Amino acid sequence: MNLAIVGTGYVGLTTGTCFAEVGHNVVCVDNNEEKVKSLWQGKMPIYEPDLEEMIVSNVSAGRLRFTTDLVSAVKECEIIFIAVPTPPHEDGSVDLSYIEGVSREIANALSLDLEYRIIVDKSTVPVSTGSKVQQVIERYACKGVKVDVVSNPEFLREGSAVHDLMNPDRIVIGADSLQAMDMMKRVYQPFNAPIVEVDLASAELIKHAANSFLALKISYINAVSAVCEKAGADVELVAMGIGLDKRISRHFLNAGLGYGGSCFPKDVKGFINVAEQLGSPMEILKEVERVNAAQLERFLGRIRKKMWVLRNKRIAVWGIAFKQNTDDVRESVAVKLIKRLCDEGAIVTAYDPKASETGARALEGYNVTICDDMYECARGAEVLVVATEWKQFAMANLVKLREVVRLPIIFDGRNIIHGENAIHAGFEYHSVGRKNLYPSDKKM
Ligand code: UDX
Ligand code: UDX
């Protein structure tokens, strides 16, 4: 099938590439000329495992193209996916101006000589956005064009986006027309995944409700971690014990510094806002946000308590990205933590395997040195903080690390370093929701 994807970001680029991979002809449209030019030159705008190889092979097979020309894409493609940003406004409501703008551009490009077209919303949007897009099309397109609007939310996680897209748990298609539903099912037929066929509004709600539920799960275990710290229990054991119940599952029960990224914070806010607008407030999600913010504060409080004064303390931070396997720093808790440490006068160094450049931009104006090597970052540190769950931090050579730090104190905000190994290497080990470990605790 001929498919257009408007918005070539984390969502649009990976989605378009995976569609090409299964045999569709895909044109990725973006209004950023630079981005389109560099994609043609094989330069990746983002880091996402396996994506580059897949783009290169599909471009050379002629199934994947990039353009700024939305009008031609609408003429050539039977289905047009919208994957442009839906950022939050100050008050938490969702800024739908990019969606509205792209919908109008598509409407203007729809001429009577074109066959039936489907416009698919891939971006995360509040419920009833689809019907508003339909109204925009009706208002701006020539009378008589045959168009349906569909909601097809995306559930990919950054860092494993290609895998998630190629092996989805389910595909959600929200359509109020049979013809649209049938065509959408053909798009996804090669993926061999269960298809959830629902109405437009339900599909939109599934996305907000799913992301908010995952955020709720993380806040739940983080709230439990605070109790564990007081009670001297171990949140990892508690998570294992409750996660083995299939009704609960161990996934998304990792206690840490809280959730960040371009989705959970904005989607929880968006859902709170839309529920309020509809007169059915989701107070439970306000608590999810409160717990999320408190998690970083409690962790900072523990570092402060240990070090007494942070001013002029050398603090090394491992991790800048909002999670492992990505260069994305949007709403990264690691970035928030670094900013807070700088504000308190600490001398901060930071290291991230992929997010040095994006991190440097996000931390502009802050007195932080970004290092190319994790051990160099830790050299001379009085505290080492682990802020992102990168595997290479879990695998660190702790003996080598002990040789470079000034004081052997680790604060592991993601519970990924092996505590026993840390104390064997001579470190004090502080983590989330677990007892502090000291070298004197070590068992022979
Ligand atoms: C975005 C939204 O943030 C998310 O809510 C939604 O679910 C999917 O789209 P993401 O792909 O991470 O997620 O955004 P981003 O990486 O910022 O990419 C958006 C792209 O759209 C950019 O390349 C931008 O240049 C492009 N764009 C934006 C357009 O082509 N036209 C526009 O009008 C606006
Ligand atoms: C999320 C959803 O998982 C995905 O389905 C949706 O399409 C987009 O939003 P993403 O934001 O890319 O994906 O990453 P995710 O792996 O969900 O992590 C989000 C945040 O939660 C990260 O900051 C991560 O560190 C944190 N997290 C995740 C935890 O703190 N604990 C966990 O157990 C899992």
Q: Considering only CA atoms, which residue is closest to atom 21 of ligand 1?
A: 7
pLDDT at 444: 65
Best of 122, 263, 288 to mutate for ligand 2, by most ligand atoms within 8 A of CB?
263
pLDDT at 238: 98
Question: The whole model's pTM is what?
Answer: 0.95
Give yes or no on whether 2-198 and 199-444 have one common fold. Answer: yes
Structure tokens at 222: 């983080």
Distance CA 46, CA 410 (A): 31
What CATH topology corresponds to 199-444?
Rossmann fold (3.40.50)
* Active-site residue, 142 included: no
Of the candidates 263, 342, 371, 377, the residue annotated as catalytic is 263
Each domain of the chain, given as residue ranges in start order, spans: 2-198, 199-444
pLDDT at 381: 98
pLDDT at 92: 86
Cβ atoms of 408 and 388 within 8 Å: the answer is no
φ, ψ at 79 (rounded to 5°): -125, 130
| 263 ligand 2 Cβ < 6 A | yes
**The ligand 2 atom nearest the CA atom of 159:** 12
Q: Is 330 helix (H, G, I), strand (E, B) or coil?
A: coil
AA letter at 270: G
AA letter at 361: R
pLDDT at 387: 98
Best of 84, 157, 267 to mutate for ligand 1, by most ligand atoms within 8 A of CB?
84
Structure tokens at 257: 């510094």
> What is the chain's length?
444
Distance CA 367, CA 370 (A): 10
Q: Is 125 helix (H, G, I), strand (E, B) or coil?
A: coil
CA of 86 to the centre of ligand 1 (A): 8
Distance CA 337, CA 417 (A): 19
φ, ψ at 185 (rounded to 5°): -65, -35
Pick the CATH number of 2-198 from 3.30.365.10, 3.40.50.720, 1.10.10.10, 3.40.50.1220: 3.40.50.720
Cβ atoms of 35 and 45 within 8 Å: the answer is yes
Cβ atoms of 296 and 260 within 8 Å: the answer is no
Residues lining ligand 1, judged by CB closer than 6 Å?
6-12, 30-32, 35, 83-86, 98, 101-102, 123-124, 262
Structure tokens at 36: 């389109």
Residues whose CB falls within 8 Å of the CB of residue 50, separated by 6 or more in sequence, listed in order: 162, 163
Q: Is 381 helix (H, G, I), strand (E, B) or coil?
A: coil
CA of 141 to the centre of ligand 2 (A): 38
Q: Considering only CA atoms, which residue is closest to atom 16 of ligand 2?
A: 157
Strand 171-175 and strand 147-151: pairing? antiparallel
**The ligand 1 atom nearest the CA atom of 207:** 7
Distance CA 414, CA 390 (A): 9
Structure tokens at 45: 């705008």
pLDDT at 112: 84
| 260 ligand 2 Cβ < 6 A | yes
| 213 ligand 2 Cβ < 6 A | no
- Which ligand is closest to the CA of 255, given by its number? 2
- Which ligand is closest to the CA of 415, given by its number? 2
Q: For the chain, how are helix, strand and coil distributed in percent, rounded to 5?
A: 45, 15, 40
pLDDT tens by residue, the chain, 444 residues: 999 999 999 999 999 999 999 999 999 999 999 999 999 999 999 999 999 999 999 999 999 999 999 999 999 999 999 999 999 999 889 999 999 999 999 999 998 888 999 999 999 999 999 999 999 999 999 988 999 999 999 999 999 999 999 999 999 999 999 999 999 999 999 998 999 999 999 999 999 999 999 999 999 999 999 999 999 999 999 999 999 999 999 999 999 999 999 999 999 999 999 999 999 999 999 999 999 999 999 999 999 999 999 999 999 999 999 999 999 999 999 999 999 999 999 999 999 999 999 999 999 999 999 999 999 999 999 999 999 999 999 999 999 999 999 999 999 999 999 999 999 999 999 999 999 999 998 876
- Which ligand is closest to the CA of 257, given by its number? 2
**The ligand 2 atom nearest the CA atom of 218:** 31
Q: Considering only CA atoms, which residue is closest to atom 12 of ligand 1?
A: 10
Given phi > 0 = left and psi -120 to 50 = alpha, else beta, which region is 366?
Answer: beta
Q: 412: closest CA among 236, 194, 182?
A: 236
